[in-house]
Amino acid sequence: MRPILVFDLDGTLVETATDLVATLNVVLEQEGLAPIRYEDARAMVGHGARALIERGLAANNVTRDTATIDRLFDTYIAYYAAHIADTSRPFEGVVAALDHFAAEGWLLAVCTNKLEGLSNLLLDELGLSSRFAAICGADTFAARKPDPLALTETIRRAGGDLRRAIMIGDSVTDIDTARAAGIPVIAVDFGYTTVPVTELGPDVVIGHFDELADAVTGLMVRA
């Protein structure tokens, strides 16, 4: 079976924080609350829309009951879907890296905690979805990252070989998922994490997608 690279989405393949934060601020302002500066809110991204809303509320020193959070979540998703790629773009070097591995015969897949529908919509808008054999989100399977089921089932759906798979992500969630699945993991150092990925124990850390080919080669040799 063909080897496979499985990518996280937000903060790994695509810089989505600008649109995620803009949507958060729309929701907060509709609640009569202060918007969050992008520089502060970027660090809040990476754990899903509900967690982002809760962090935005906490930054305003307020809380809301579950029913209100559910309503804000629905508002968030509807607005975000309509503005999903206003400013979001692939990180520098992503397209060239995907081209390289496709030419080398690798399968490519996405395993994200973004909702599957939003993941497909974003990648469609960016012209990237056709590059992936599977695009799996938080609601695709019975479990989401860091449960290894999300990763192993993504690999299965893509037609890949678990023994020849590598995960690429930006956070402790991705690293823990790969470790639980017994898969090597490469971390990018430009994503959404409050703890530097160098402190989280990935197999390799890269600072640009130009470095991915050498990182993958090194892991395959090591295996």
Reply yes or no on whether 176 is catalytic: no
CA 201 to chain centroid? 18
Task: Please choose, from the candidates 217, 165, 203, 204, the residue with its C-alpha nearest in 3D space to the C-alpha of residue 4.
Answer: 165
Q: Is 8 annotated as a binding residue?
A: yes
Q: Is 170 annotated as a binding residue?
A: yes
Residues 112, 136 contacting (CB under 8 angstroms): yes
Q: Is 214 annotated as a binding residue?
A: no
CA 170 to chain centroid? 8
What is the pairing mode between strands 14-15 and 89-90?
antiparallel
CA 33 to chain centroid? 28
Distance CA 156, CA 207 (A): 29
Among the options 8, 19, 174, 176, which is catalytic?
8
Residues 173, 156 contacting (CB under 8 angstroms): no
Q: Which residues are annotated as a binding site?
A: 8, 10, 170
Q: Which residues are annotated as a binding site for Mg(2+)?
A: 8, 10, 170
Catalytic positions are 8
